Chain A
Amino acid sequence: MHHPRQAFRFLRGVAALALPAAAVVGLAAGCGKGAVPPDAGTGPRKIIYWEKWTGFEGEAAEQVVKTFNAQEQQKARTTPAYRPIQVQLVSVAEIEQKLMVAIAGGNPPDVAGIETKMLYPYIDKGALLDLTEMIAGAGISKADYIPVFWNMCEHHGRQWALPTTPSTTALHWNKRLFSEAGLNPDVPPATLEELDAWAEKLTRWEVVGGDGTKEIRTGFCTNIPDADKRLVQVGFLPAEPGWWPFLWCYHFGGRLFDENGNVTAAAPENVQAFEWLASYSKKLGVAHLQRFISGFGNFSSPQNPFLSGKVAMEIQGVWMYNFIDKYAPGLQWGVAPFPYPKSRPELARTTLADVDMVVIPKGARHPQEAFAFMRYLNSQEGMEMLCLGHRKFSPLMKVSSGFVSAHPHPYVALFRDLAFSPTVVAMPKSGTWNEYQREMENAAGGVQDLNVTPAAALAGVQARLSGAVERNRRTSQATPTP
C-alpha cells in the first residue's frame, strides 16, 4: 500500500463521516489509521475481536476468549517454536455503523460479531472475507449445524460467517392470568382462532359506573362508552413487542419475496395477516390501545408489560427467559409454538430463526489467526460455553449431555426443536431488507391506527420496495464488488 492511496483512504474515511449535518458525526473513532507494522516474528500473535454483547452475554464471550487464550499459551509451552494466538475482546456499541467505517478506513478488527441483518448488505458491498475455503479446510461442514443457521451464513453459494448464539420465537403465556380468567393454565391456544377467543377472556377494563365507583370488567366491552373505561390488561396484542410486523405474514402463510427476489408485499396472505392486526385495534379501540401501549415500561425492566402482567400472551424469543429470571423471577409462564390459522395446520410450528455470527472483515490483518479463534468458538466446547452463558441453545447438531443438564432455561428444548420446523422463517437475504423492515413497520403502524386499510398499506410497501429492489440490482451492476 503506497502513500497517495493511504492518504485518499484517510480523506475518504473522514469525508464520508463529516457530513454537514452535525448529528451524524462522532463515529469517526478508529477510522482511517495508517497501516500497523506487520508482526515481528516473535511473541504472541494478537488479534482483535469486536463483539456487540454487553452484560452477562459479554461475560460469556469473555470466558470463551480466556479459555482459548489459555489453551494457546499451554500449546506454546509444550511446542517451543509455537507463537500463541491471543484474542483481545472489545465490546463495541453501535457495531453496525462502526464496523463499516472501520472497514472503509482500512483498519477493521480481525473478528467481528454481527447480526444477520448486517450480513447480506455487507457481503453485497464486498466488506467481508469469503470463508468458504477456510471452513472446508477446517473440516467444518453443513452437517455440523442445525440447517437454518448454517444457511443463514451462506450467500451467493459461499460461506461468509460462522454462527454463534441462535434464537427462535414462540408464544409465551402467563399462567396466573390464565387461571384468573378461568382458563386451564397449562394449555396454550393452538390455533389463532383460539388465541383470539382467549384474548377476549384475558382482556380487562376498569369501568367507572354512574355513581363514580370503579369495577373491573372482562372482555372487549365494546358496549361500554369510551369515556367510562380504561384498559388495564390485554390477552394478546400483535403490537407487543412489535419488533417483527413482517413475521405475521409468514404466520398466515405469506412471504415477502418470491424465488426470483421480487417483492411480494401485497400478497393476499399478507393482507390477511394485516387484517388480523387491524382486528385488535377494532376490538379494543385505537385511542385505548395507544394510551395503554404508551404506558408500558422499558422492555428491559420489571415494568415490561408481559413481566408485569399487563399482557397475558406474547410472541417472544428464547432470550425472554433471561428477562423473566432477572425482573420477574416469580412469574408462572409457559412456552408453546405460536398458534396457526385453523385452516392452515401446516403452519403449526412457524417461528422466526435468527443467529448472531462471527465474520472476518475485509482488510483484517490476521485472517488465519482470526479463523483459528472462530473455529474454537464453533467447537462443541467453545459453543456450549457461550450458549450456556447466554442461556440459549447451541446451533450445533451435537449437544453434550452436560449442556442439557446444566441449562437453566426450562423450555430451551422447545426453542431448539422449533429451529428444525419446516416452516422456520429466516430473514430474507436482500440488501434492501433494512428498508423493507422499516416499510413494514410503518405499514403496520398505519393499519393498527386504522388510518389506512391493510390492502392499501401493503400496496404502498410493494411500490416502494419494488423500486428499492430495482435500484439495488442496478447499482450492484454499476459498482461490482472490488
Chain B
Amino acid sequence: MKRRDLVGLLFCAPWLLGFLVFMLLPMGAALYYSFCDYSIVQAPAFIGLANYRELLADALFWRSLYNTLYFAAGAVLLGLLTSLVLALLLNCRVRGLAFYRTVFFLPSLMPVVAGSILWMWMYAGDGGIINTALKAVGLPGPAWLADPRFAKPALILMSMWGAGHAMVILLAGLQDIPTALYEAAVIDGAGWWQRLRHVTVPLVTPVILFNLVMGLIVSLQVFTQAFIMTGASGAPERATLFYVLRLYQVAFRDLRMGYGCAMAWILFLVILGLTALLIRFSGKWVQYER
C-alpha cells in the first residue's frame, strides 16, 4: 500500500472507527438478537425466526406500519410542496428578503420537544389558537389530538413546521439555475407558468429527489412528536402508534429486545427498499443539467 493511501486511511480512521463500533457492529448484533429471545439482562436465547413469525401475526405491528406509512406519505409530500412554494417565493426579488428567509427558516430550528408542546396548545380543542381561528370563520374545530380521525392529519400538518431545511436547500438549487435559460425562455414568449413548468422545476428535480429521500428516511422514523403529544401510548385509539413508538414499547417497556431488534431490522429494510425504489425510478423524472 502506498504511503498516500495510508495517510488517507488515517484521516478517515476516526469516522471509520466510529462507523464500525457505533453503526456496523450494533446493526450486526441487532440482526443476531432479532433471532433471539433477549431481555438485555439475561443471555440471549436463540429462537430462530420466531420473532419474525410473531411480528407477521401481530396486529399492532401492522397497525404501526400503516400509521407510519400514512404519516410519511402525508408529511413528505406536503413538506415538499410547502418548501418548494416557500423557496419559490423567497427566490423573488422583494424588499426585506433576508428577513423573510430568516423568519421562514426559524421554526425548523426549534427543538422537536419544544415545538411539540407548543403545538399541543395550538391544537387544544377548547381555546386552542387553531380552533379559535376556525370558529372565527364559522368552521367547527375538532379535538385535533383527541379524535382518532384527526390525530394523524394533525401531526402531518405540524410536520410542515420543519419545512425550513428543505426550503433552504431548494433555494440554493433555484439560485443555481442560470439566468440565461430564463432569458431565453422569455424571448421565446414563455409566461410565468411556462417558465416554472419547463425551466425551474426540471432543473431543481435533483434537489427535490434529495429532499424526498431525506424526508422519507426521517418521517419513517417519526417518534418524538407522538411520544410527547399523545401520551407515548399511541392514543387516541392507536391512531398515532407509529412504528418506532411501538418498537420503543416492546424493547424498552416490555423488555423484549429481540422482538424490538427484529422490528428495527424490518424498518431498516423498508427504508432501504423505498429509497432504492425512489432512486431506481428517479431517472424518469430527475434531470441533471450536464
Give A contacts to B, CB under 8 Å.
11-12, 14-24, 27, 96-97, 100-101, 103-104, 121, 125-127, 227, 230-231, 287, 290-295, 362, 432, 434-435, 438, 441-442, 445-446, 449, 451, 471, 475, 478-479, 481-482
Which residues of A sit under 8 angstroms from B233, Cβ to Cβ? 438, 441-442
**A-B contacts besides A290-B143, A294-B144, 15 pairs, CB < 8 Å:** A14-B26, A14-B29, A15-B28, A17-B26, A18-B26, A18-B30, A19-B261, A19-B264, A22-B221, A24-B223, A24-B248, A96-B253, A294-B128, A294-B146, A482-B42
CA distance A291 to B223 in the complex (A): 24
- Given B38, B123, B237, which contacts A451 in the complex, CB threshold below 8 Å? B237
Query: How distant is B27 from chain A, measured CB to nearest CB, in Å?
Result: 6
- Tell which of A362, A451, A478 touches B148, judged by Cβ atoms closer than 8 Å: A451
Name B's A-contacting residues (CB within 8 A): 21-23, 25-30, 33, 37-43, 45, 47, 54, 123-128, 131, 140-148, 221, 223-224, 233-238, 244, 247-249, 251-255, 257, 260-261, 263-265, 267-268
Residues of A near B128 (CB, < 8 A) are: 294-295
Whether B41 pairs with A104 at a CB distance below 8 angstroms is yes
Q: How far is the CA of A15 from the CA of B27 in the complex (A)?
A: 7
Also in contact, A294 and B37, with CB within 8 A (given A125-B42, A451-B237): no
* B29 and A100 contact, CB distance less than 8 A: no
Judge whether B123 and A294 touch: CB under 8 Å. yes
Closest B residue to A227 using CB positions: B140
Cα(A126)–Cα(B39), bound, Å: 10
A19 touches B260 (CB 8 A): yes
Q: A121-B255, A438-B233, A479-B43 are in contact. Are A16 and B124 (CB under 8 A)?
A: no
Q: Which residues of B contact A479 (CB under 8 A)?
A: 37, 39, 42-43, 45
The answer to whether A445 touches B236, judged by C-beta atoms less than 8 angstroms apart, is yes
Distance in angstroms from A107 CB to nearest chain B CB is: 13
Least Cβ–Cβ distance between A292 and chain B, in angstroms:
6
Roughly how many angstroms separate A290 CA and B146 CA in the complex, as a whole number?
Answer: 6
A20 and B145 contact, CB distance less than 8 A: no
A445 lies within 8 A of B125 (CB): no
Chosen A-B contacts, 14 in total, with CB atoms closer than 8 Å, are A14-B25, A14-B26, A15-B26, A15-B30, A16-B38, A16-B257, A21-B223, A100-B255, A125-B40, A126-B42, A230-B126, A291-B126, A479-B37, A481-B42
Q: How far is the CB of A170 from chain B (nearest CB, A)?
A: 24
Chain B residues, CB < 8 A from A449: 147-148, 236-237
Interface pairs A-B: 3 shortest CB-CB: A15-B29, A291-B125, A18-B26
Known: A23-B221, A434-B253, A449-B236. A294 touches B41 (CB 8 A): no
Min C-beta distance of A116 to chain B, whole Å: 15
A104 vs B248: C-alpha distance when bound (angstroms):
18
Closest to A463 in B: B59
List of B residues within 8 angstroms of A18 by Cβ: 22-23, 26-27, 30
Task: Determine the distance from Cα of A90 to Cα of B265 in the docked complex, in whole angstroms.
Answer: 35
Bound: A438/B252 CA distance, A: 14
